[in-house]
Structure 1
Amino acid sequence: MLRIGLTGGMGAGKSTVARILAEHGAVIVDSDLIAREVVAPGTEGLAALVEAFGADILAADGSLDRPVLAAKAFADDEARAKLNSITHPLVGKRTAELIGAAPADGIIVQDIPLLVENGLAPFMNLVLIVDVPAETRIRRLVEFRGVPENDARARIAAQATDEQRRAVADVLLDNSGPEGAVEPVVHELWERRLVPFERNLRTGTAAEAGAELVTTDPGWAAQAQRLIARLRVACGGAASSIEHIGPTAVPELPARDLLDIRVSIADAAALDGLCDALTASGFPPLAGGANDAEPGERLHGSADPGRPAIVRVQVAEQGGS
């Protein structure tokens, strides 16, 4: 299954994009909803919070009084760590259950407000960022949600910056236009990238790049870094280094729109297991001998039709002069 990370700043319209994707057939896993579900009345999560923070965190109807809990849990680092130690494992367990229940050919969209802040981007096959300028988001929060302007500005300032989100964005969805303007963009994304990506991932098929040379793309370096971050997760401790190489690593030269990544590993015995891990992570093997493989080199591609790549897995030379 394909795992998509979806995030954006407060007021960006992330829920709108999630709704459109759900209408196309995506399985939505909403972190905010899960966080509320695991501490609903009658759950082990709420019982654990009461034991840790006291019965006064309960409202009259037995539900969690969130402002009271926040006042206690965010009073100091120790209290916040206690809260996280209770809720995070429960959220993780429920998230895993929902993902595990999805069909094998499913496209999972994980709606995670703090995806960037928690460093989760490399664990997704693709990251979608709903992008709206901060001033527009503040206006929306004030006008449509009734949030006081000072509060809106403080909340936005406490989140990741627009630049930090854009750095992890494989797809930047501009939702600053009129209502409904983003819908055809999401539809095209679904048909032309997400559905083929899922199919390629499931069948172990690498996406092909065009043969023609293109002018230098200033985004190549950032795109390569996002792939490298995913490859580090897939390789675990097996990789001694992962580098962006080849023509796209030379900014002033035209090249095929094909990222070239070299993964060096120290142990030749790890090659077979690494091949399976890369395939499961969206980097399926290429046919033997394709693309001028060097002796002892394993070639993988990218299943993402929006970002073709060659991943060259090589055993690093030991010793030296």
Structure 2
Amino acid sequence: MKNPFSVGLSGGIGSGKSTVADLFAARGAAVVDTDLIAHRLCAPDGAAIGAIRDQFGAAFIDADGAMNRAAMRDRVFSDPAAKQRLEAILHPLIRAETERAAQQAQGDYLMLVVPLLVESGDWARRVTRVLVIDCPESLQIQRVIQRNNLSEAQVRAIMASQATRAARLAAADDVILNDADAGALLPQVERLHALYLSLAAKMSQRL
């Protein structure tokens, strides 16, 4: 990216980050999604698979050679030390791949989708603005149960490991409320896209 203006998009599980990111991408933003990068790293022959097998054993690799997500989810949410070990494997790889993708991205401005942006202060410092996708916690739970076929207890455990809704809102420069249908998202996206184009143009002029 020639223009250094960047937006860090974040939000809790089930808030609709991917949906909103797709709307910005359709309008010309260069979107780099760290969740998609993490999935590629943990796919068959992904760069993280060898280290995951070494650290956790073959039981955490499925028959296709990818990380066994269900087994790993159960492990890390019951064992904080295991969560730290997994993060020690993934986070440096995600960071390196994100930097590479950002350098190659083409668009009006860069948007990094980072689910744990607020939890990791380092990510927040690396973007120009923080955009949080917000919705009621009850709606998060409903969406994730429907999407991932998890129990309410599992969803609540995931949410408990993330920043609180209040903490995310406190860290936000901009907020999109995603508590209705796509039609309610569009005017919010359009308003912020226009703002980001303006800010990116001003930053470019100062270079």
What TM-score results when the alignment is normalised by the length of structure 2?
0.87
SS at match of 2:48: helix
1:145 shift after superposition: 4.7
Q: Give the equivalent residue in structure 2 for 1:23.
A: 26
Q: Which structure is higher in strand share?
A: 1
Root-mean-square deviation (Å): 2.2
- In structure 1, the residue matched to 2:43 is 40
Using a 3 Å threshold, how does the CA distance of structure 1 residues 70 and 184 change in structure 2: closer, same or farther?
closer
Distance 2:58 2:83 in 1: 17
In the alignment, does 2:74 pair up with 1:49? Answer: no
Judged with a 3 Å threshold, the aligned counterparts in structure 2 of structure 1 residues 89 and 76 are, in CA distance, closer, same or farther, namely same
* Cα distance, 1:181–1:76 mapped onto 2, change above 3 Å: closer
Instruction: Write the mapping of 1:227-238 to structure 2, written as runs, cut at 5 A.
Output: none
Q: Secondary structure at the match of 2:184?
A: coil
Residues 45-104 of structure 1, C-alpha deviations (whole Å, 9 max, x = no match): 21122122222322122222123344555664544333222211111110010011124x
2:8 — aligned with what? 5
Distance apart, 1:186 and its partner CA: 0.5
42 and 200 in structure 1: CA distance in 2 versus 1, 3 angstrom threshold: same
- Match of 2:178? 175
Could you list the per-position Cα deviations for residues 276-307 of structure 1 after superposition, in whole angstroms to 9, with x for gaps in the alignment? xxx7xxxxxxxxxxxxxxxxxxxxxxxxxxxx
- Change over 3 Å in CA distance of 1:111–1:176 after alignment to 2: same
| Structure holding more helix per residue | 2
* C-alpha distance in 1 between matches for 2:80 and 2:11: 26
Separation in 2, partners of 1:154, 1:54: 24
Q: Give the structure with higher Rg (CA).
A: 1
Residues 177 and 63 from structure 1, CA distance in 2 versus in 1: closer, same or farther, beyond 3 angstroms? closer
Q: Is the 8 A contact 1:5 1:121 kept in 2?
A: yes
- Greater mean alpha carbon deviation, residues 17-26 or residues 34-43: 34-43
1:141–1:152 Cα contact (<8 Å) kept? yes
Q: State the match for 2:113 in structure 1.
A: 111
Counterpart Cα distance in 2 of 1:48 and 1:178: 41
Q: CA deviation at 1:132?
A: 1.0
Once residues 141 and 71 of structure 1 are traced to their aligned partners in structure 2, the CA distance between those partners, rounded to angstroms, is: 16
The Cα shift of 1:130 comes to 1.0
Which residue number corresponds to residue 101 of structure 2?
98
Q: Which amino acid aligns with 1:117?
A: E
SS in structure 2 of the partner of residue 60 of structure 1: coil
Q: What secondary structure is seen at the aligned counterpart in 2 of 1:35? A: helix
Identify the match of residue 134 of structure 1 among 137, 151, 162: 137
Q: Which runs of 5+ in 1 are unaligned?
A: 205-278, 280-321
1-structure distance, mates of 2:79, 2:101? 33
Of residues 198, 201, 204, the one that matches 1:202 is 204
Structure 1 length-normalised TM: 0.58
* 1:7-38: CA deviation from partner (whole Å, max 9, x where unpaired): 11222211111010010111111111111112
CA distance, structure 2, for counterparts of residue 171 and residue 124 of structure 1? 13
User: Equivalents in 1 of 2:75, 2:140: separation in Å?
Assistant: 29
Partner-residue secondary structure (3-state), 1:110:
strand
1:104-149 CA distances to partner (integer Å, 9 max, x unpaired)? x641111111111112323210111111111222233344554323
